[in-house]
Structure 1
């Protein structure tokens, strides 16, 4: 049972860590591009970036951290949790007067995490 908790927490932390690293990268790249892009194109971009990050994560962690039927539960729950965390991070940034990027909103954070999780779901051993 304790192994299961570590596996679930490990998978969640992996996705959160990658999401935060990508978010930090987007903040550093956002400065030259003040004009916001089309939201549909941005959603597509976050989906592609999530798929790329999921593929890269397979090199670091080739086997799925959660086994059996929990893989499906993880596929549904983890992106929602990550989306909520990104929304909270965006709220925190706006309270501090910092610029809020699209990934700091639930929908874009969720799309990134879902595409990340789908790649891991399909291709992790």
Structure 2
């Protein structure tokens, strides 16, 4: 039972790290350009930008946590798949929340942008902590 609790806490920590990184990156992107001066970005350019941002945040996260919170290789591989899905779901939820409030939904609040960002970040952490 202790093993299961420890496993869930470690997995939650890795997911939380990626979601926090994603929210900080979104906040940074939001602050760089005022809303009235933004031009629509092509979705593929946006995906590439989020992939690069995920790689950067993943590398920076290694300075704070140079080792994986997950001990087993299988768990780390599961994290590489599940965390991006959860992060994408969080961003999609934020986009839906904004739409319900009548606010415009920026491209960054889409599932694919969250998935690509979190996968890039998780891939850097996975490879660096092998």
Q: TM-score, normalised by structure 2?
A: 0.89
Number of aligned residue pairs: 125
For the 8 Å contact 1:27–1:101, the answer to whether it is kept is no
Q: Aligned-pair distance for 1:30?
A: 3.6
Q: TM-score, normalised by structure 1?
A: 0.93
Q: Aligned-pair distance for 1:66?
A: 1.0
Mapped partners of 1:67, 1:43: distance in 2: 31
Alignment partner of 2:66: what SS?
coil
For the 8 Å contact 1:47–1:111, the answer to whether it is kept is yes
Q: Deviations over 1:15-63 (max 9, x none)?
A: 1111111112222224264211222111111000000000000000000
The residue aligned with 1:51 is: 55
Please, which runs of 5 or more residues in structure 2 have no aligned partner? none
Mapped partners of 1:111, 1:30: distance in 2: 22
Q: Aligned-pair distance for 1:124?
A: 2.3
After TM superposition, the structure 1 = structure 2 runs for residues 1-125 of structure 1, keeping only pairs within 5 Å, are 1=3, 2-31=5-34, 33-68=37-72, 69-124=74-129
Mapped partners of 2:129, 2:62: distance in 1: 6
RMSD of aligned residue pairs (Cα, Å) = 1.4
| Bigger Cα Rg | 2
